[in-house]
Structure 1
Amino acid sequence: MFAKHTVYKHDNYNMLTVEVQGKTLVVREISDQWGEECHKFISRPEMMDWANRRFRAEDFPGGEEELKQTIETLRNI
Structure 2
Amino acid sequence: MFTKHTVYKHDNFNMLTVEVQGKTLVVREISDQWGEVCHKFLSRPQLMDWAEKRFLPIDFPDGEEGLRLTMEKLKEI
Question: Do both share a fold (TM > 0.5)?
Answer: yes
- Amino acid paired to 2:17: T
Runs of 4+ in 1 over 3 A off after TM superposition: none
Q: What CA deviation, in whole Å up to 9, does each residue of 1:36-73 have, x standing for no partner?
A: 00000000000000000000000100000110000000
Number of aligned residues: 77
1:5 positional shift:
0.1
Q: What is the aligned-residue identity percentage?
A: 75
Counterpart CA distance in 2 for 1:32 and 1:24 is: 26
Task: Please show how residues 35-74 of structure 1 align to structure 2 within 5 Å.
Answer: 35-74=35-74
Unaligned runs of 5+ in 2: none
- Structure-1-length-normalised TM-score: 0.99
Task: Please show how residues 15-30 of structure 1 align to structure 2 within 5 Å.
Answer: 15-30=15-30
SS in 2 for 1:38: strand
Counterpart CA distance in 1 for 2:37 and 2:75 is: 20
1:30 positional shift:
0.2
